[in-house]
Amino acid sequence: MMPQLGADEVESTREAVLTHTDALTGLGNRRRMREKVEGLAAERAEDPAPFTIGLANLDGFKPINDLFGHGAGDVILTQVAHRLKACMPDGATVVRLGNDEFGFVLPLVFDSRGAEKMARLIKDVLSAPFDLGARTVRLTASFGFSVYPFAGTDFDSLMSCAETALYRSKRRGRSQITVYSQEIAEEFRRATELEQALRRAIIADDVAVHFQPIVRLADGQIMGFEALARWHDAELGFVPPNVFITLAEERGFIDLLTEVLLKKAAATALRWPEDMYLSFNLSSAQLVDPMTSLSILAILNRAGLDPRRLELEITETAMMSDPDMAQKIVTELRAVGIKIALDDFGTGQSSLGRLRDFTFDKVKIDRAFVSEITRDRPSEHIIKAILAMCEGMDLAVIAEGIEEVEQAAKLIQLGCRLGQGYLYGKPIKASDTLRLIAANARPLEAIAIA
């Protein structure tokens, strides 16, 4: 006969279960995962046979919460939990760590190959639609794994390495798998050093703004300048903008970098003739931040620049992570007179749909088409079609990356009025813009199109 537990023992057992269980999904929680990992590590301490822990983070879960509500989000999380529990191998444990992140303890997965195989299985399980009654949604997940004892011998170090691997997966896009290694650790260390150097550079005001002229193609008259970030570190040398701007987005201080750069750019624009405008790039992270519009306006107010002289460039890719929030931000900015340009047009997967769904003032034709316009008939026809479409939608068009007279002549012939590129000027320091404007006071001879 099984011994009967006393009331105190029953209550103690119940409390232990509750403290180790996620209330929403019924899975274990972080405490449960720690307990499992520490138990396995103790068992294998003398003869350290490997085991693996993993993390899975749902991609694009926040927009679903925002669109359908937290109740629908909870339904999906519960369904995810059921699927994960059903696909775990013998002896494995799955827990919910918080929000849309889940953890795994895999005693019989011994190496990166086994971890990647497990991740692919989970991806397949999660690929089926999730039922929300009248509608269904699809989700993907990103994964990070670490293997005992190579990545660490205790729970905290193994989790830290798995989090680093997951972070790398999220950086690379949706539905990625990363197993922690020394190479990844070195990559993460370099990124951290770069982040610290960039933060110091921002505080020391060492990140510069250069300006590339945007011209009227018919006569080369400067209509405005695009502001471009430049950073040259004493130890690291020249750091490409796509590297340090992406890093600032990922590490959560793009707003600080933007404030510094836009403040500098606006101060320079105040010295130009009032009919010249400033073009400035918004990052993808700023198109999901509801405070972006207020932040931009605050910077302009402090600088004293009329919002009507600012044009913000956004890419289609940047809008796709949260289209509803991006639309809200665009609408707020346009309401105060700021113009919005769709950058890199023609390279996205649904540009025509974006033109229909969003309200833009201008379109910038990607340099990939401009560079081939005199040699590649399809590129010429694409540009011609873009120009015709934008004319019908009352959108201005700028051609980027013009480097040859022949390219400019062809663009003029097709009806393009504005452009920028090395043919008209490379990015220059703020102090040089006034000299360039003075030299440009007498427009260049029109480029012959015959």
Query: pLDDT digit string (tens) for 257-306?
Result: 999 999 999 999 999 999 999 999 998 889 888 899 999 999 999 999 99
Q: Is the preceding omega at residue 241 within 30 degrees of 0, hence cis?
A: no
**Residue ranges of the chain assigned to CATH 3.30.70.270:** 7-180
| Residue 447 tokens, joined | 């480029």
* Residue bearing the bigger pLDDT, 50 or 171: 50
pLDDT reading at 357 higher than 90: no
Instruction: Name the pTM for this structure.
Output: 0.74
Q: Do 196 and 408 form a contact (C-beta atoms < 8 A)?
A: no
pLDDT for position 324: 81
**Residue ranges of the chain assigned to CATH 3.20.20.450:** 193-439
**193-439 has which CATH code?**
3.20.20.450
How confident is the model over 109-161, as pLDDT tens digits? 999 999 999 999 999 999 888 888 778 888 889 999 999 999 999 999 999 99
How confident is the model over 26-81, as pLDDT tens digits? 999 999 999 999 999 999 888 778 999 999 999 878 777 777 777 888 898 999 99
Mean predicted lDDT score pLDDT of the chain: 88
Fold classification of 7-180 is Alpha-Beta Plaits (3.30.70)
Q: Do 401 and 370 form a contact (C-beta atoms < 8 A)?
A: yes
pLDDT reading at 16 higher than 60: no
pLDDT reading at 431 higher than 90: yes
| Residue 398 tokens, joined | 């700028």
Q: Which pLDDT band, with edges at 50, 70 and 90, does 436 fall under?
A: very high
User: How many angstroms separate the CA atoms of 313 and 295, rounded?
Assistant: 16
| Residue 3 tokens, joined | 């011994």
